[in-house]
């Protein structure tokens, strides 16, 4: 019989379940779970599931034909109604620092892992349902998710991947056919919303908080088991021939986690992504973007912006502070794994290095965004600083600005008006810009021209290079809302259209130009488009 990529051919190897002890209690009630890495728990069956969308690339990644994804069985499995052979559903135990404070046990309150599938490439990917019912970690909440937040998670995971940003993936988006009560504005006026389930996919859903929970309980035995398992399954290149991690392995691993985290944040800064809830339980040990909640995309360039209404006062997780917060989170991880290493100086050295490594990566990213071969600190520190000052002086769309910057020629024969003409579409109020702002922008462009002349790349090559790092299409907050509004009316066309456009974010795709436009006025103050609550 020839091998086909069907559901029944999926093979599972649930390594995590072997590596850590299970919670001996199997009854599904809320509790503190000690001395265990997870609790077995089944998804809650739903009455009338229907498939809304599938990511073809993720289906292929795990070894499923697209036709198989259209089967009734696929919907049953990824709605949590049916288990495939080899699936052993479980929820992870983890803790975390939320908004700067230790929050104790959190855990998968509405995520249920189905198992680790062996991909056609021989790697392993964990399949996880989000919104499939309560678990022992659900605390006061219901374990469910609504359509609007699930649309946002599904689309953004895939958009980020295609932008080249490390992220968990999303296989499917399914309506449960059931309603969920949510107080979206936290104003005491709850309403019923359609329930939905996203199947997320990643080599590991272990978070910084997974280590913190063991450390906080003085459980060094399980702390070591988790660290060893993580290294053996996701960082095996760090192991010497004897396969047993030692102090040097742990340090090399922590250093790589710092590196990957720095890399992820530099990508966020490049594309204008604001996570919104950078608590340590939302930091992946793999350096992937995880847990898409009240995230947002910068429209006008404003380092102080966060979309999360829960963080409105302090704005702890604002765009411009993400690199600093990542460092704070890495410090918490260092504290948690200290018992395995017992060398404060060595950990401090790696943490101190984060700043330097972040800066180097940031400089490379800045050079790429400006189309330069290298970052020359003597000129480019000021060039970038001046640009960031200018971008904040009047509402300027970050994505459009960089995309159009590629249209500035190296040749300095143009007068001011002609020179800055390509950039005008990036302004939100182009008709009322003060003259001195335009003059300052022209002055900056002349410095930029000098720099690109010195750099020596021809205009066409520079343009191609810039277009490969400055996306034309990102999942602007209002775009996700358009998809949600249509879905609420039973029309999933916009979800499919956006999934398709965002698959090629650097391509011109002129037929989709309407999605490369500034935020429309109606979206300026509408909930979901400018500010989001954590209600999901
Ligand atoms: P988040 O801020 O979404 O990362 O969630 C923080 C914690 O709350 C995690 O432990 C989640 O599993 C849990 N949580 C969030 N929403 C729900 C829900 N509707 N039901 C149960 N647990 C939830
Ligand atoms: Mg979370």
The DSSP-derived string for 351-417 is HHHHHHHHHHHHHHHHHHHTT-SS--HHHHHHHHHHHHHHHHHTTBBHHHHHHHHTT--S---S-HH
Q: How far is the CA of 98 from the centre of ligand 2 (A)?
A: 10
The DSSP-derived string for 109-178 is SSEEEEEEEEPTTS-EEEEEEESB---TT-TTS-SB-BHHHHHHHHHHHHHHHHHT--B-EEEEEEEEEE
Residues with CB under 6 A from ligand 1: 106-110, 137-138, 141-144, 277, 281-282, 291, 293, 534
Structure confidence by residue, pLDDT tens digits, 260-298:
999 999 999 999 999 999 999 999 999 999 999 999 999
Q: Which atom of ligand 1 is nearest to the CA of 94?
A: 10
Share of the chain above pLDDT 90, in %: 94
Q: What is the pLDDT of residue 3?
A: 60
Q: How far is the CA of 451 from the centre of ligand 1 (A)?
A: 48
Pocket test residue of 104, 109, 144, 147 for ligand 1, highest count of atoms within 8 A of CB: 109
- How far apart CA 510 and CA 516 sit, in angstroms, is 9
Structure confidence by residue, pLDDT tens digits, 231-269:
999 999 999 877 789 999 999 999 999 999 999 999 999
Q: How far is the CA of 250 from the centre of ligand 1 (A)?
A: 30
Catalytic residue among 108, 228, 281, 300: 281
For the chain, how are helix, strand and coil distributed in percent, rounded to 5?
45, 15, 40
Contact in structure between 292 and 323 (CB atoms under 8 Å): no
Structure confidence by residue, pLDDT tens digits, 316-335:
999 999 999 999 999 999 99
Which structure tokens are listed for 358? 């972040």
Q: Which atom of ligand 1 is nearest to the CA of 142?
A: 20
pLDDT class of 2 with cuts at 50, 70, 90: very low
pLDDT class of 527 with cuts at 50, 70, 90: confident
Alpha-carbon torsion angle 286, 288, 292, 298, nearest 10: 150
Q: Quote the crossing angle between the two packed helices 247-271 and 322-341, to the nearest 10°.
A: 170
Q: What is the pLDDT of residue 187?
A: 86
- Tracing tokens 């973007």 back to the chain, one arrives at 289
User: For the chain, first and last CA: distance in Å?
Assistant: 45
Q: How far is the CA of 299 from the centre of ligand 1 (A)?
A: 28
Q: Which atom of ligand 1 is nearest to the CA of 107?
A: 10
- How far apart CA 84 and CA 443 sit, in angstroms, is 63
Closest by Cα among 12, 185, 186, 1 to 114? 12
Q: What is the pLDDT of residue 535?
A: 87
Closest by Cα among 501, 496, 474, 473 to 483? 496
Mean pLDDT calculated for residue range 341-353:
98
- Tracing tokens 């002055």 back to the chain, one arrives at 443
Kindly report the pTM of this predicted structure: 0.98
Average pLDDT of the residues of the chain: 96
- Assess whether 281 carries a catalytic annotation: yes
Q: Around Cβ 444, how many Cβ atoms within 10 Å?
A: 18
- How far apart CA 116 and CA 96 sit, in angstroms, is 24
- Kindly report the protein residue whose alpha carbon is nearest to atom 23 of ligand 1: 109
Q: Which helix (H) or strand (E) covers residue 519, if one does? A: none
Mean pLDDT calculated for residue range 212-228:
98
Contact in structure between 172 and 62 (CB atoms under 8 Å): no
Contact in structure between 295 and 156 (CB atoms under 8 Å): yes
Q: What is the pLDDT of residue 186?
A: 84
Q: What is the pLDDT of residue 444?
A: 98
Contact in structure between 64 and 3 (CB atoms under 8 Å): no
In the structure, ligand 2 is a single-atom ion and the residues with CB under 5 Å from it are 282, 291
Q: Around Cβ 108, how many Cβ atoms within 10 Å?
A: 24
- How far apart CA 479 and CA 500 sit, in angstroms, is 13
- How far apart CA 306 and CA 327 sit, in angstroms, is 18
Burial 253-286 (b: 16+ CB within 10 A, else e): bbbbbbbbbbbbbbbbbbbbbbbbbbbbbbbbbb
- How far apart CA 200 and CA 125 sit, in angstroms, is 10
Structure confidence by residue, pLDDT tens digits, 438-497:
999 999 999 999 999 999 999 999 999 999 999 999 999 999 999 999 999 999 999 999
pLDDT class of 57 with cuts at 50, 70, 90: very high
Q: How far is the CA of 4 from the centre of ligand 1 (A)?
A: 37
Q: How far is the CA of 24 from the centre of ligand 1 (A)?
A: 23
Residue 534 pLDDT greater than 90, yes or no: no
Q: How far is the CA of 114 from the centre of ligand 1 (A)?
A: 18
Alpha-carbon torsion angle 199, 202, 206, 207, nearest 10: -80
pLDDT class of 1 with cuts at 50, 70, 90: very low
- Tracing tokens 């460092």 back to the chain, one arrives at 327
Radius of gyration of the chain (CA): 24
The DSSP-derived string for 400-431 is HHHHHHTT--S---S-HHHHHGGGGGGBSSGG
Q: How far is the CA of 201 from the centre of ligand 2 (A)?
A: 15
Q: How far is the CA of 291 from the centre of ligand 2 (A)?
A: 5
Share of the chain above pLDDT 70, in %: 99
Alpha-carbon torsion angle 301, 155, 499, 477, nearest 10: -30
List 91's β-bridge partners, or say none.
39
- How far apart CA 6 and CA 2 sit, in angstroms, is 11
């Amino acid at each position: 019989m020839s091998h086909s990529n069907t559901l029944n051919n999926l093979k599972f190897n649930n390594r995590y379940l072997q590596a850590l002890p299970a919670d001996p209690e199997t009854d599904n009630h809320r509790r503190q779970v000690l001395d265990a890495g997870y609790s077995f728990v089944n998804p809650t069956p739903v009455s009338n599931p229907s498939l809304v969308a599938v990511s073809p690339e993720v289906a292929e990644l795990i070894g499923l034909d697209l036709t198989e994804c259209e089967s009734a069985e696929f919907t049953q499995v990824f709605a949590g109604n049916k288990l495939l052979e080899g699936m052993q559903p479980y929820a992870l135990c983890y803790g975390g620092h939320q908004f700067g404070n230790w929050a104790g046990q959190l855990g998968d309150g509405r995520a249920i892992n189905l198992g680790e599938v062996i991909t056609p490439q021989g790697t392993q990917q964990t399949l996880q349902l989000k919104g499939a019912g309560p678990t022992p970690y659900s605390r006061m909440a219901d374990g469910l998710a609504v359509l609007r937040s699930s649309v946002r998670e599904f689309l953004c995971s895939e958009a980020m991947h295609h932008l080249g940003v490390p992220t968990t993936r999303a296989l499917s988006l399914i309506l449960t056919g059931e309603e969920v009560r949510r107080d979206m504005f936290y104003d005491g006026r709850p309403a019923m919303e359609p329930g939905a389930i996203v199947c997320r996919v990643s080599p590991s859903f272990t978070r910084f908080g997974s280590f913190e929970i063991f450390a906080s309980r003085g459980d060094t035995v399980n702390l070591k088991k988790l660290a060893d398992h993580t290294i053996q399954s996701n960082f095996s290149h760090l192991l010497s021939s004897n396969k047993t991690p030692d102090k040097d392995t742990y340090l090399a691993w922590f250093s790589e986690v710092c590196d990957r985290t720095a890399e992820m944040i530099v990508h966020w800064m490049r594309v204008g992504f604001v996570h919104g809830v950078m608590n340590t339980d939302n930091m992946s040990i793999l350096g992937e973007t995880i847990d898409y909640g009240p995230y947002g995309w910068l429209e006008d360039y404003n380092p102080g912006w966060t979309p999360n209404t829960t963080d409105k006062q302090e704005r702890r997780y604002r765009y411009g502070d993400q690199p600093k917060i990542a460092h704070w989170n890495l410090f918490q991880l260092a504290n948690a794994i200290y018992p395995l290493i017992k060398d404060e100086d060595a950990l401090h050295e790696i943490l101190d290095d984060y700043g330097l490594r972040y800066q180097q990566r940031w400089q490379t990213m800045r050079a790429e965004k400006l189309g330069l071969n290298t970052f020359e600190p003597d000129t480019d520190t000021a060039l970038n600083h001046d640009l960031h000052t200018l971008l904040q002086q009047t509402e300027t769309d970050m994505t459009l600005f960089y995309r159009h910057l590629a249209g500035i020629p190296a040749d300095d024969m143009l007068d001011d008006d002609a020179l800055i003409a390509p950039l005008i579409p990036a302004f939100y109020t182009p008709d009322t810009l003060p003259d001195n702002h335009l003059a300052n922008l022209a002055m900056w462009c002349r410095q930029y021209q000098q720099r690109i002349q010195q750099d020596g790349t021809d205009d066409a090559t520079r343009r191609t290079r810039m277009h490969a790092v400055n996306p034309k299409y990102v999942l602007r907050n209002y775009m996700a809302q358009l998809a949600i509004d249509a879905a609420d009316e039973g029309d999933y066309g916009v979800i499919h259209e956006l999934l398709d456009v965002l698959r090629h974010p650097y391509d011109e795709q002129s037929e989709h130009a309407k999605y490369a436009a500034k935020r429309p006025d109606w979206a300026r103050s509408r909930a979901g488009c400018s500010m989001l609550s954590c209600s999901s």
